[in-house]
Structures are given as C-alpha cells and as structure tokens.
Amino acid sequence: MVAPEKKSSRLTRSNKLFKVIIQAIHDKKGENLISMDLRKIPEAVADFFIVCEATSTTQVRAIGEYIRDTVKKECGEIAFHDEGYAANQWVIVDFVNVVVHVFLPETRKFYRLEELWSDALVQEHIEDGPKPLRQKKVKP
C-alpha cells in the first residue's frame, strides 16, 4: 500500500508548478498576465486559472507549447488536457488544479473570463514580480 501524499508536499509541488508556468509565460513575452485564486469558490473547476494574452496566433501556440514543455522538464508534470491549437485564438493547458488560458486580446475581451469568475482573488504578474494578492472588482 502506498502512503498518501502529505499536504505540504502537494503544496510545494503546486507552488513550483505555478511559478514555472508564470516564468514560462514571461519567457515567451505573454502580456496582461494574471492569476485567479478560485479555491474559495465552491463551483470552481480548478484551484487557479492563469490568464495571459499573445499578440498573434503564432505566439498563442508558442506560449501554450512552451508551458507544456517547460512544466514537463522542470516539474515532471504532463498536462492532463490541452486544446485550442486548431484556431490558436484561445489555448487551454490544463494541469487539473492549475488551468492556463492563453488568449488573443479580442478573444479574451469576448469571453470575459475574469468577469465570469469575478469572486476570485486576482493577482497581476509583471516581470519585476507579482503585485499583492487582492480582490479585483470587475466592472460590467
């Protein structure tokens, strides 16, 4: 029988995954990068959404693929699911507890993901480091 994984080791692994994804997006010049903490929302499908934009369909694909490859190399984790590579307007890379959304700007505006999860705590991630975790009020 295999012993259950300790909570602290799960958190450490999740923290590393989160940091590796954020850095991978910065490496590929993703823009308007935020994370949404969904852990206190009962109907949430994941613990975190990470959302960013790319300036072209080529960059959308490149960021998504780079995240997959970097997480596999750095964390030994393989994405549970990914999709959107046919059109490259919105690519999703799903690591179960952390789901990454890479959008073209106009697609992000259309789907308004941040508004759908407006109860989430939002953190903006800039290259100098994240801004403090806060509740972001989204205007309709």
**Contact between 51 and 114 (Cβ < 8 Å):** yes
Question: What average pLDDT is seen over the chain?
Answer: 87
How far apart (Å, rounded) are the C-alpha atoms in residues 47 and 97? 5
18 within some domain:
yes
Q: Which domain holds residue 38?
A: 14-128
70 within some domain:
yes
139 within some domain:
no
How far apart (Å, rounded) are the C-alpha atoms in residues 120 and 134? 9
Give the H or E element holding residue 62: helix 57-75
The pLDDT, as a whole number, for residue 138 is 45
7 within some domain:
no
26 within some domain:
yes
Using only C-alpha atoms, what is the Rg of the chain? 15
Question: What CATH number should be reported for the domain holding residue 54?
Answer: 3.30.460.10
2 within some domain:
no
Please choose, from the candidates 22, 27, 24, the residue with its C-alpha nearest in 3D space to the C-alpha of residue 49: 22
Q: Is 110 helix (H, G, I), strand (E, B) or coil?
A: helix
How far apart (Å, rounded) are the C-alpha atoms in residues 116 and 131? 22
Q: What's the structural domain count of the chain? A: 1
The pLDDT, as a whole number, for residue 14 is 80
Specify burial of residue 114 (Cβ count, 10 A radius: 0-12, 13-18, 19+). Answer: middle
Tens of pLDDT, residue by residue, the chain (140 residues): 444 555 455 556 788 999 999 999 999 999 999 999 999 999 999 999 999 999 999 999 999 999 999 999 999 999 999 999 999 999 999 999 999 999 999 999 999 999 989 899 999 998 766 554 445 544 44
135 within some domain:
no
4 within some domain:
no
